[in-house]
Structure 1
Amino acid sequence: MYNVKIVETIKEHDDAFAVRKKVFVEEQGVPLHLECDAEDASATHFIMYEDTEPVGAARLRGIESDTAKIERVCILQTQRGKRLGALIMQEMEKHAISTNNKKLKLHAQSYAVPFYEKLGYTVTSPEFMDAGIPHRAMEKNI
């Protein structure tokens, strides 16, 4: 059974960062100093478990009075294709609504644009590079 929750303990924090490191640093080659940045301190972090095993992570942070930005969405390679990305996004959107946000923004890796479009996000920028990976800005009114 899969469960998504807001990170509250040191163990959950460590689990979320372990998933992020595995996906972004080890798998995609993002330098650790870019993956773990100053925004981590103020962001709300999410962790996804399959029973007790961490399998996904993401973070959400306020960027304007009624707008939050979704970042660092990742699912372990062995768990992809099970709609877990949609599950973690759904939980982050619920939290964003509960904290009075009206809009969500994100920078999607270009290959993932169709995934986010299925969730109601719209592309708002031309392609740009971030950490050596092509991205597109996207947003959604909630």
Structure 2
Amino acid sequence: MDETQIISSLVEQQRKLVFTMLVNGLEYPVESFSVEHSQTPVTKPTLRGGVYFSNLKEFTIKAKFLGTALSPVLSKTMLGPNIDFEKIKFLTSIELDGSKKRLAVVANLINYVQRGNGLELNLIVVGTELSD
């Protein structure tokens, strides 16, 4: 099963899955998670800022967390204050080809905002890791 098929299955099943975010070796429970295939603001595939490649359409994640304790951790993962993106993983169990698999969705953090009593993260999917 290729990566696009895995992510397509994730899109179909996302409402019934439970996610945990893994960053800097620590796990954080995800309050809500959505992934979709969306248009990017480029007219052709391009290297953005000399750092990462962007296609015309990419899978994007919106993840919400309760509380703001993540904020100092997240500022260390974004491009801008740092010269590299820190990879962030979202862990879940998913049904693929009739069996449960452990899925890690690897993403780069684009931005995050504080909303009420929590944080909302926007990320671009850069890969997946599948295991039994």
Q: Same fold (TM over 0.5)?
A: no
| TM-score under structure 2 length normalisation | 0.27
User: Which has more helix, going by share of residues?
Assistant: 1
- Bigger-Rg structure (1/2): 2
Structure with greater strand share of residues: 2
TM-score of the two chains, using structure 1 as the length reference: 0.26
